[in-house]
Homo-oligomer: A and B are copies of this chain.
Amino acid sequence: MDSDHDSPFGYDAFRRTCPSHTVLEMLASKWVYLVVCALRKGRLRNGELARKLEGITPKMLAQTLRVLERDGLVRREVFPVIPPRVEYELTELGQNLGGLLTQIRAWAEQHAPVIKDARARAIAVSEGDWAA
């Protein structure tokens, strides 16, 4: 046992070539976070998502959804009507992940003030280098 870390699944995200590493890369996107969180409370249409995720461009939204669909986290349903109607919802796997990501989001919202202060202090210090 020369691996000093506690991965009980035989996969090791610290290794570049491990599949779990690429999964982590996929998750390391703020839009993935937000889309999954947004879909957590139920299926949404493309436009609803676009409105909910302030600042997302159609391109990024589509791109993010395609990735999530590809990885089996989101299911896409197309209604053959005019005007077109497309709905997205989390799969079982996506729901599962959504629980965790929502915790991260909650953590971010909860600690945002402290971190904002820390950043302000860091800037103040770096600007105070004149005290050298």
Residue in contact with A24 in the complex, picked from B33, B113, B116, CB distance below 8 Å: B33
Would B19 and A53 count as touching, CB distance under 8 A?
A: no
Chain A interface category by residue count: 35 or more
The contact string, 1 if C-beta is below 8 Å from chain B, for chain A 72-110, is 100000000000000000000100110011011111111
New A-B pairs, 6, CB < 8 Å, besides A19-B113, A93-B111:
A5-B41, A14-B34, A14-B38, A18-B109, A19-B116, A93-B114
Residue ranges of A at the interface with B (Cβ–Cβ < 8 Å): 5, 7, 9, 11-16, 18-21, 23-30, 32-34, 37-38, 41, 52-55, 69-72, 93, 96-97, 100-101, 103-116, 118-119, 122
